[in-house]
Structure 1
Amino acid sequence: MKRVICILIILMLSLSGCASFNEVDADKVKDVSDKITQTIIDSVGKENAERQESHKLEAKNLSKLKIESSVGDIFIAAHDSSEATVDIKITAKSSSKERSQELVDNFSYSVMEKWDAIEINTIQDDIKILNSDNIQTELTINIPKNIESFIIALNVGEITVNNTDGQFEINNNVGNIEINNSVGSFNLKADVGEIVLNSCTPLNKTELKTNTGDIKAVFSDISDARTIKAETGVGDIEITTPDNSSYEAEIDEFMQDKMVVYKENKNTKIELKTGVGDINFK
């Protein structure tokens, strides 16, 4: 969660020099940042309470993981087992230890098997997010390799995926998305936050989009990617492809003429666009 604070600081500095750029988005981001800043101030000196629980599900016949969460980090990795394990840590902060413990004890969530999916829901229905009483949930999930579809929606927090292949549909309101050593189609969107892909192999269609934040991707192989699109409103884009890549890339960089570069047989169509920021493509 510390990285979320850093994102907001960078965001406010960026917007201070770009008042004419997309004022509606700037207002939305300021509203979110003000609430989070106030929450950080309010949480100083408050009492903590924690609750930790673990779940195991037989998942050899399942193919999807669906997560909905309000506030907290999410970590996902594949492992050599037919079982899925879900560890959850619930943390509450309030004016007294008793109140914090009450919030933790009364917090409800669900981890269940439904049809062909594992569904996890830690949405805070009855508690105001970013209020004087604060709750966050940290999820650590290990899944078998037959899980190949990931649908994740998070309001505030970080999402990290390691060594996991499949189709990724991830939306994060405030916080970074990072995927490492994975193969798949990536549809990743953030309102405020970085998107990072390390040593990944995109398949079919990939789209990376953030309103405010950098996009960084190091691709191991793009030969099976039809299209790769990366767009940020305020931030830089850095994309690295292997030397043997074949592509046609359209680069639309802030304060620069749009240009097209290509290599070999133009196998993969690449589109890179920044509202305010630099593009480094190689």
Structure 2
Amino acid sequence: DNLAEGGTDQIAGAEDATKILIHKKQVALDKQVRNETMGEKDYQTTTTVHPDDTIDYRIRFSADDKMTDKISTTELQDTLPKGLTLVPDSILIKYSDGTSEKASDLKAVKLHALTAGQHADIEYQVKVAHDQIPDIDLKNTVTSKTAIADSTTVLRGATDATVKSAKPAKGQITFHYIDWATGSPIGAKAVTVKGLIGKPVSEAALADVSGHQDPNQIRPANIPSYVPVDYTDQADLSTAKFYRIKDVDPLITATPQDYTFRYERSRLAMTRYRLT
């Protein structure tokens, strides 16, 4: 480590300068994670999760661009800790040459041959246990064993990413009800649902719905003398696209959401007469 690549240094007891070629880093192994349920876009070395969250892992195995030898095979092994379960059929290997392939077992991932400067990304998803205890680090280490072509050299590496468990997180969805002709609020005006992230509104508890209303009677709501005609999930109604009316059951996310239902007044009135 004290010698520059291709440099020279005096060795005690040697009469001539000794030249040593050094490869400081032939292969690299890097593991990162992100919380998909919480809407994280970028991979990082650590993240916070909650029960029932879905998280993404990415392992990058790369060959140094100055490598002169060809990597013949690489075997990776990743053992998930208790509390994390692999999402079936989610392991995907993506090579830097544009090719990709599926893998079925994190304990035995084999990569194709790589040359200098190439890399492979192993991406997969896991689910956090429903009863995961908070304030615990869920750390799992990936190890690699790499064989160099035409050589007995075997390179080994290891890296990890940390997942910190926390108490269940809640998000919010607000349902609005307006008159199609006037744009004015009608009926309940607005109903707010605060529930666990990743859960549909239909599974919200009565205590999580404003006014303790039934979560299955608000999407859309039954408003006397009015008929629902369409809805939108966009907050800016001046540019929003409206869709044909239906029962909606959105998932609660970390980002607050707004749903607006438009209604028309009923055009059919019924009168009951008593015959004598």
TM-score higher than 0.5: no
Greater relative contact order structure (CA < 8 Å, 6+ sep):
2
Relative to its length, the structure with more strand (as a share) is 1
So what's the TM-score if we normalise by structure 1? Answer: 0.20
* TM-score where L is the length of structure 2: 0.20
